[in-house]
Amino acid sequence: MSKQRRTFSAEDRYSIVQESIRSGPSEVSRKYSLSPSLLRRWKEKYLASGKDGLRDSYPRVDPQVRILEEENERLKRIVAKQALELEVKSELLKKTPIGPRKR
């Protein structure tokens, strides 16, 4: 049976750390099913940087924004391909003589 990964917001982490300071880390880690090392890491970050230390260290990207960025990249590739085709066609037209052909 696999456990599902839980995510905690900075406010949740802050309240859990505050509770562990008041009532002890072993009790709080059991209550929230957290490993004591994770709780200790959160506490160290909190003591070092305050509430800002409990924020995520990586930027979260909204799924809608990600979808739009992928579509934007796809459209850029299409436009670049069409521009290349137009350039090649114009070069071919410059090389090809216009008018009646001599035999």
Contact 46, 17 (CB under 8 A): yes
CA-to-CA dists, residue 85 to 20, 89, 102, angstroms: 65, 6, 29
Q: What is the pTM of this model?
A: 0.53
Mean pLDDT of 37-60: 85
Rounded CA gap, 10 and 52, in Å? 8
Rounded CA gap, 86 and 38, in Å? 58
- pLDDT value at 103 more than 60: no
Could you tell me which of 10, 19, 14, 7 has the C-alpha nearest to residue 47? 14
pLDDT band per the 50, 70, 90 thresholds, residue 5: confident
pLDDT value for 2:
59
- pLDDT value at 8 more than 90: no
Contact 21, 50 (CB under 8 A): no
**Out of 59-63, 78-82, 88-92, least confident range:** 59-63
Rounded CA gap, 100 and 63, in Å? 59
